[in-house]
Amino acid sequence: MPAKLIRNGTLIDGSGAEPIANAAVLIENGRITGVGTVQSLAPRDGVEELDAQGGYIMPGMIDTHVHVMAEGMDLIGQMQKPFSFMFYQAIQYLARTLECGVTSVRDAGGADAGVKKAVEDGIITGPRMQISISVLSTTGGHGDGYMPAGFPVPMIVPYPGNPDGIADGIDEVRKKVREILRAGADVVKVCSTGGVLSATDHPEFTQYCIEELKVMVEEARFRKGLKVMAHAQGAEGIKNAVRAGIHSIEHGMFIDDEAIELMLAAGTYVVPTLVAPLGVIEEAEATGAMPEYGLRKAKETLEIHRESIAKAYKAGVRIAMGTDAGVVPHGTNLRELGLMADVGMTPMDVIVATTKTAAECMGWDDRVGTLEAGKLADVVVTSVNPLTHIHDLANNDNIALVIKGGDIAKDRRSARVLAEA
């Protein structure tokens, strides 16, 4: 892998520090070995120069909540496809995710160890991954695909690499966590409340008691400190999760003041996924394939969700970017950034949430999240200024260059030059 020098751009390093004009980033053997000005990192023989063309040099973006094995809610269409078809679809989803500038993801249910290894070994193209395998759910909970017709339609049909996640009671929960960890999970995912897209519950329904949640945290901790992430939308389920020691709250629709106090004391992260309910509404309007209960609950929770995240942000709760991609189309991940700004986050805080804080949430802050010497060379160059045009990052044409681990995954710089000529 030849060394690379990215130059002629403004550096936004992900730490929240002031941007550096006329910046350069040196990449050698897949890692960043130098960050500074073009004067301090002069070109040398054997180094490939990559002209940022006056763009903005940033860390690779991180999405801490995706579902790479699915997209949309066309349940009838899903049932008409062969079982293995979803793996081939995932190849496209992963490629689109990387092309939009997301170089690391945390899969919140669906992807198995084989999908992760295929990316790691270079068999398929995609962001680096953490996986949760299956989603832990109570009977009748958000992860239970039971339908009013009397039979289940799960998001992923259980198979040896992806065990069924339904478990009730402390003993069942403990065994199920062990099964999921045995299958290769890097993080444990649980539903501590109901949700928008589950047929038999509601976001404010509480699922699992604190004792059951504590068992999950304990079993994960036994594996050298692995973490638990909780789909948690209702206030009681959020507080139960935080009190049990769960690491991150996904969605956080009904966060109240007591929950905020608990999260601040525990250092708990919230992953907003503001785009998810909006995506449900848009898919319903565009295709009509969305179940009535999903559309109804998305409309009901849309504004309170935004208000809750705004309140958490103002209070200083740690926010890590996540989208629930799969509910919304893969490759549209950076739309979330504009929505985070819309609830009051500054553009710089949005960038930090999408890089540094997201890496901390995943426990990967020693390898990705900021542009500094020694870290993996995950770098994005944008053609627009994200500090003044954060919404424009949702347009993938504005993501000019994507580098993952020192390898160029996307390069639209020549297309931009031709367009300007």
The catalytic site residues sit at: 189, 324
Q: Residue-wise over 238-251: b if at least 16 C-beta within 10 A, else e?
A: bbbbbebbbbbbbb
Residue 250, strand partner residues: 231, 271
CA distance 247 to 227: 6
CA distance 311 to 314: 5
* Degrees, nearest 5: CA angle 138-144-146: 130
Q: What is the total residue count of the chain? A: 421
Which pair of tokens denotes residue 183? 């299958």
